[in-house]
Amino acid sequence: MDRFEYIEARLFEGENYLKREKGVKIYDGEDKTQYVDGEVILTTHRILWGKAGDIPKGLTCLSLPLYYVFCLEEENSGVFGLGGPKRILLHLGPALPGKRPGPAVVSPYHFIKFSFKDGVDPLFFKALNDAVNAKAWERTPQQQLTSSESVVNTSTKSPVTPVNSKIRSGIVGIERSIEEHHRATDESISVAFQDLRKLMEKAKEMVSISKTISTKIREKQGDISEDDTVRFKSYLMSLGIDDPVTRDAFRSDSDYYLGLAQQISDMMVSVLMDCGGIMSLADVWCRVNRARGLELISPEDLLNACKLLGTIDAPMSLRKFPSGACVLQLNSQSDEEVAKVTSQLLEENGSLTPVKLSQLANVSVLLARERLFTTERRGLACRDESIEGLAFYPNLFLTKAA
Amino acid sequence: MRRRAGVGAIQKQKLEQEKYKEKGSEIQENQFQQMCKQLEVFRENLEDFASKHKNEIKKNAQFRRQFQEMCAAIGVDPLASGKGFWSVLGIGDFYYELGVQIVEVCLATNYKNGGLITLDELRSKLIAARGKAKKHQDITNEDLLAAVKKLRIFGNGFTVIPIGKGKWLVQSVPGELNLDQTLVLQKASALGTAWVSASILTGDLRWNETRAQNALNHMVKEGLAWVDTQDTSETLYWFPSMFAECVSA
């Protein structure tokens, strides 16, 4: 809206009348304005809008120089687009400095819409399109030089020379090219999402566009969303599996579970290492399915596959706690390893309670006690049960007895 | 071009520089807004496609991967099946999808709530992350309970605890993996008092009431903490394992 100027309705030298429409409303971007039910005059240089009857009388009206327009499209209204397009959408370049005052000083939008009460006349749209493409204003300066009235002419005409859109230089040129780039992207997105087949064809391009958008936004505001869950989701999905194992690809269930076990083990190794070597099966199920995308596996399938982890020499195994909770844990957490590490800690600290071990090893108290019991069972620790609680000491019989 | 010299020229240049800078940030701001708009368009379209064309997308392996990449970049959930006819019978992906999303919400929030979340909060977070479409809003607590039921075969690592009428608490971290008790002990030893109270935990660790009380009750049950009701304002929990340290300190 900030591209409009107030001006008396008069044609300039070299400017020609093209077409006229009635019952026209202006939208500033998506917003309605007070300019309703007016009359529009299209010339070779401008679009004039005035209250009905104002323009023929030469009263003040709104004028939009056509050099602001770099693209236009018809917009269908209504759910089914019945009765043809009702609006024309004009994408505008940024307001040039030194323009005459207009109805708005700033506008958040880079496009305006003309809404036609009786629908868009295809002839009007065509004429507008032609006028924008003909760029009559680029020719006028030369004519003006030869014209004796050139001085008068420039004073009535908007005082800045319009930017030649072919030679892109200066800030305006940069802005325009950015603008155009955005438009091109917008367009390719809207084309690609018309139907599934088109999206498949353009999938590669869309993937890269989606990534650019999200990196740009991440740079600017930290992350694509403030929602913890959305962020986490996007993280989980980015660790995708290229070719998820499916039941159809295998002849028997046991083969399928073996394949699944292999894939789970490949995927979870690094995850488990990152989070302390142990994870509840529900978490594993969620992560595996997120990585698989649309090919979900059921909890039963996961459980069956995890039972087979031992048979394929995977670096992890399924474990069931006495409480009944199932977890997946790295083999470095196996009883032997645990006993070895815990007995070392016992030596270093002289004695350990479950509470102390839980703090040293950063595991839960329950798990810490479990570890101490394991160590005890292997004969590497001795129990001291008293009113102060449960404590364990190194087994001196192993070291001192001889 | 005219040679510029003198203070005036320098000031002019400075002014110009500033103007350029201003313009630059304006352009950037503009570009950012455009990007945000495109992100929205992408999100809407992806959500739409995910719910409409699931089966076609599944069929084409290469495209499936690309679709997933897009969803990951934009933060859209590709799992968007509706509660169709088959899901009433417990067949189909609907409840599995919900299950995945439930666990996901629990995982994403567990740094804040220690793996305890009310079903209502879970539902609102899940719906928000699932997308804007109307059918996502129709997911009920009963749907969530049905989905959680499917996780039961993982043992009681993921459980729903009824707390009063029509209210449930979802516990996503099994006791063995729960570090809350360790945190309580750390807090107590940091304070050097050998005791803590629920209000200390809610105040200092920013836990909610349920989480604090749960952790403390569990420790009492395990014999790690002793209850002291002599204090007039609230119950204190003493840790005998720290008595010696306090005496010697």
- Taking the alpha carbons at both ends of chain B, their separation in whole angstroms is 81
Give the pair of three-digit tokens for residue B63.
């495209």
Judge if B100 and B150 occupy the same domain: yes
In degrees, to the nearest 5, what angle opens at C-alpha A204 toward C-alphas A203 and A210?
Answer: 85
CB-defined contacts A:B, below 8 A: 258
CA dist., res. B63 & res. A189, Å (int)? 16
Please answer yes or no on whether B73 and A231 come within 8 Å at the CB atom.
Answer: no
Q: Is the residue at B98 inside a domain? A: yes
With an 8 Å Cβ cutoff, is B178 touching chain A?
yes
Judge if B97 and B161 occupy the same domain: yes
Name beta bridge partners: B228. Answer: B236
Judge if B42 and B110 occupy the same domain: no
pLDDT in tens, A235-281: 777 777 777 788 777 888 888 899 899 999 988 888 888 877 888 88
A98 close to A65: Cβ distance less than 8 angstroms: no
Encode chain B (249 residues) as per-residue pLDDT tens digits. 566 678 888 888 888 888 888 888 888 888 888 888 888 888 888 888 877 777 777 777 778 888 888 888 877 777 777 666 555 555 567 888 888 889 988 888 887 787 888 888 888 888 888 877 666 777 888 888 888 888 888 887 788 888 777 788 888 887 777 788 888 888 888 888 888 999 988 888 888 888 888 888 888 887 778 899 998 888 999 887 777 666 665
CA dist., res. A52 & res. A330, Å (int)? 80
Judge if B221 and B239 occupy the same domain: yes
Q: Is the residue at B80 inside a domain? A: no
Judge if B143 and B168 occupy the same domain: yes
Judge if B241 and B193 occupy the same domain: yes
Please answer yes or no on whether A280 and B174 come within 8 Å at the CB atom.
Answer: yes
Which of B44, B107, B109 should one mutate to test binding to chain A, selecting the residue with the greatest count of A CBs within 10 A? B107
Judge if B99 and B39 occupy the same domain: no
Residue B75 DSSP symbol:
T
Give the pair of three-digit tokens for residue B208.
């909610």
Judge if B148 and B192 occupy the same domain: no
Can you give the pLDDT at residue A367?
Answer: 83
E-strand spans in A93-209? 111-116
ipTM given for this complex: 0.76
The Cβ of residue A356 has, within 10 Å, a number of other Cβ atoms equal to: 19
Please answer yes or no on whether A325 and B45 come within 8 Å at the CB atom.
Answer: no
Please answer yes or no on whether A324 and B224 come within 8 Å at the CB atom.
Answer: no
Give the pair of three-digit tokens for residue A381.
């620790």
Give the pair of three-digit tokens for residue A81.
């687009």
> Which residue among B172, B207, B236 closes a domain?
B172
Judge if B230 and B205 occupy the same domain: yes
CA dist., res. A318 & res. A335, Å (int)? 13
> Which residue among B152, B172, B192 closes a domain?
B172
Amino acid at site A166: K
SS3 of residue A387 by DSSP = coil
Q: Which of B100, B109, B154 sits opposite A228 (nearest CB)?
A: B109
CA dist., res. A239 & res. A242, Å (int)? 9
pLDDT in tens, A113-125: 888 887 788 888 8
Judge if B59 and B119 occupy the same domain: no
What chain A holds in terms of domains, given with CATH numbers, is 5-156 (2.30.29.30), 172-224 (no CATH), 247-332 (1.10.10.10), 334-399 (1.10.10.10)
Check the CA dihedral A335-A336-A339-A342 and report its sign: negative
Q: Which residues of A touch B75 (CB under 8 A)?
A: 214, 224-225, 230-231, 233-234
Give the pair of three-digit tokens for residue A213.
């958008």
Give the pair of three-digit tokens for residue A239.
């660790």
Selection from A364, A367, A392 nearest residue A380 by Cα: A392
Please answer yes or no on whether A294 and B150 come within 8 Å at the CB atom.
Answer: no
Burial degree of B229 (CB within 10 A; 0-12, 13-18, 19+): exposed
User: Which of A43-57, A102-116, A227-241 has the least mean pLDDT?
Assistant: A227-241
Q: Is the residue at B141 inside a domain? A: yes
Say which CATH number the domain at B221 has: 1.10.10.10
B178 close to B231: Cβ distance less than 8 angstroms: no
Domain count, chain B: 3
Judge if B148 and B188 occupy the same domain: no
With an 8 Å Cβ cutoff, is B241 touching chain A?
yes
Domain that holds residue B154: 85-172
Judge if B158 and B101 occupy the same domain: yes
CA dist., res. B214 & res. B202, Å (int)? 12
Q: Find the length of chain A.
A: 402
With an 8 Å Cβ cutoff, is B109 touching chain A?
yes
> Which residue among B128, B143, B172 closes a domain?
B172
Angle between helices A335-349 and A354-361 (to 10 degrees): 100
